[in-house]
């Protein structure tokens, strides 16, 4: 056992240390320091703890080092040596030593600390890309303000986790390597920060568009005591190519809609487009043109034109056969050759289009396009298909029209959700 220990964990002076460019570094206490931050821990009381391995040189307490990856200065306060659960302050760490420092401002796991004169970069640590996502929300409203900072600390602690805010669905998304990975993260969140959360499948960021050109002419008219409300808006909507977004133009002539009210028309169109018309998803890839209208010298207002534009857009989309678009992903699945048929068969049940199967040293790589809605739990599905020996990569590619039967299910579910929240 001792011989094995010497072979796999020799003294630092007997090990070769290379930088990110493959250049050999001198391992000596007198050399310029090169320190690898190999772990980050979130302490609810102390804050961020950075675990260091001194690869060469000497690091002293109350000194400054240069973060070579972030090009920033870091001050090291007290340096500790970990003794089980206890931390023992030390004056310095020499080559080969492992220590802990608190509250480094910019340094994260995998960063190199050196000197500004010799900003050595050690080989970077490569972490797997997340393949599993869940929407996270606090179980109690009282924890809303604490949730974001606490999740951010967890992500700093575990580089395999990712945290993002989906602007289109207004959800906080936690990404990891699988359901077990996220379950462990949620457990740590409760243990360290006393925050209980609920996980659910993220909402698929569908989009809406139109299938043909149409127009609508809507008059908003309301008479009450005093001034009333009056605005007439006539618009045309036509489809554009994928990725064009939503465009608004005005071709009004002759002052039928006064210039000062055109921004209100645009605002009404844009706000309604963001809310969605068909199923509550953002309207995109179409052009809306204001071509006519009418105003009243007393009763017209910005609000009246905004409301008229909103209703005109709804009628135009309905006339133009509004359709749903769904995100389509490129997927690469790597698994044992014996499971290639099972992988392809499973993907076919998920509306995938298979591009090919490539052998790779006893493994098979299946490449395909697949709707995001069909692979939100694919990490679990692939684990079952390959007994845990499969891996996959998922990347957004484009938006495509949702098949009619699937689109109707999405629309019905959206209406049920909207009715439940009223």
All structural domains of the chain, each given as residue ranges with its CATH number in brackets, are 2-114 (2.40.30.10), 132-200 (3.30.70.870), 208-320 (3.30.230.10), 325-404 (3.30.70.240)
- Cα Dmax for the chain: 97
> Which residues lie across from 35 on neighbouring strands?
54, 113
What average pLDDT is seen over the chain? 89
> What is the pLDDT at residue 119?
86
For residues 29 and 92, give the distance between their C-alpha atoms in angstroms, rounded to a whole number.
Answer: 11
What's residue 421's pLDDT?
Answer: 67
Q: Sign of the CA dihedral 382, 383, 387, 388? A: positive
- H/E element holding 17? strand 17-18
Nearest to residue 316, comparing CAs of 232, 237, 218, 231?
Answer: 237
A 10 A CB-CB count for 240 gives: 15
Question: Could you list the pLDDT tens digit for every one of the 422 residues in the chain?
Answer: 888 877 777 766 666 676 666 677 767 667 888 888 999 888 777 788 999 988 888 899 999 999 988 889 999 999 999 888 888 899 999 888 899 999 888 888 889 998 888 888 888 788 888 888 999 999 988 888 889 888 998 888 888 899 999 888 889 999 998 889 999 999 999 988 899 999 999 999 999 999 999 999 999 998 776 678 899 999 999 999 998 999 999 998 878 899 999 999 999 999 999 999 988 899 999 999 999 999 888 888 999 999 999 999 999 999 998 899 999 999 999 999 989 999 999 999 999 999 999 988 889 999 999 999 999 999 889 999 999 899 999 999 999 999 988 888 888 888 887 777 66
DSSP 8-class letter at 126: P
Distance CA(172)–CA(150), nearest Å, equals 13
Residue with tokens 């709804």: 314
Length of the chain: 422
**Pairing verdict, β 79-83 and 132-138:** unpaired
Cα(24)–Cα(9) distance, rounded to whole angstroms? Answer: 18
Q: What is the pLDDT of residue 129?
A: 85
Per-residue DSSP letter, 211: S
Q: Please name the helix (run of DSSP H) or strand (run of DSSP E) that holds residue 250, with its range, or none.
A: strand 246-250
Q: How is the chain split among helix, strand and coil, in percent rounded to 5? A: 30, 40, 35
Distance separating alpha carbons of residues 290 and 213, to the nearest angstrom: 14
Q: Which residues contact 181 (CB under 8 A, 6 or more apart)?
A: 132, 160, 161
């Amino acid at each position: 056992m001792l011989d094995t220990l010497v072979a796999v964990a020799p003294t630092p002076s007997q090990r070769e240390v290379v930088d990110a460019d493959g250049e050999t570094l001198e391992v000596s206490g007198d050399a310029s320091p090169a320190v690898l931050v190999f772990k980050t821990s979130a302490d609810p009381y102390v804050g961020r703890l950075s675990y260091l391995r001194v690869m060469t040189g000497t690091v002293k307490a109350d000194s400054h080092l240069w973060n070579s990856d972030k090009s920033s200065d870091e001050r090291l306060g007290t340096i500790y040596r970990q003794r089980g659960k206890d931390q023992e302050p030390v004056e310095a760490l020499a080559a080969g030593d492992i220590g802990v420092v608190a509250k480094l401002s910019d340094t994260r796991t995998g960063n190199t600390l050196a000197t500004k004169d010799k900003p050595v970069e050690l080989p970077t640590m490569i972490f797997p890309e997340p393949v599993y996502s869940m929407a996270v929300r606090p179980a109690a409203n009282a924890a809303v303000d604490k949730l974001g900072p606490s999740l951010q600390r967890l992500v700093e602690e575990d580089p395999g986790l990712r945290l993002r805010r989906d602007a289109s669905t207004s959800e906080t998304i936690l990404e990891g390597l699988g359901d077990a990975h996220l379950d462990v993260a949620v457990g740590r969140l409760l243990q360290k920060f006393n925050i209980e959360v609920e996980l659910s499948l993220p909402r698929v960021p569908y989009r809406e568009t139109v299938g043909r050109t149409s127009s609508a002419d809507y008059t908003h008219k309301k008479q009450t005591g005093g001034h009333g409300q009056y605005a007439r808006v006539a618009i045309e909507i036509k489809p554009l190519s994928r990725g064009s977004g939503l465009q608004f133009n005005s071709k009004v002539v002759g002052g039928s809609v006064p210039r000062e009210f055109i921004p209100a028309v645009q605002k009404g169109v844009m706000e309604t487009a963001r809310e969605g018309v068909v199923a509550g998803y953002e309207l995109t890839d179409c052009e809306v043109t204001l071509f006519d209208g009418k105003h009243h010298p007393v009763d017209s207002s910005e609000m009246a034109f905004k409301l008229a534009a909103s209703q005109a857009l709804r009628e135009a989309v309905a006339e133009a056969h509004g359709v749903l678009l769904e995100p389509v992903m490129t997927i690469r699945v790597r698994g044992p050759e014996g499971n290639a048929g099972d992988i392809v068969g499973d993907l076919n049940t998920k509306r995938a289009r298979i591009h090919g199967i490539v052998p790779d040293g006893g493994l098979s790589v299946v490449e395909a396009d697949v709707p995001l809605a069909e692979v939100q739990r694919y990490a679990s599905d692939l684990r079952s298909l390959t007994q845990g020996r499969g891996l996959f990569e998922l990347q957004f590619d484009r938006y495509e029209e949702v098949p009619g039967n699937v689109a109707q299910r999405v629309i019905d579910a959206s209406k049920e959700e909207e009715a439940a929240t009223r």
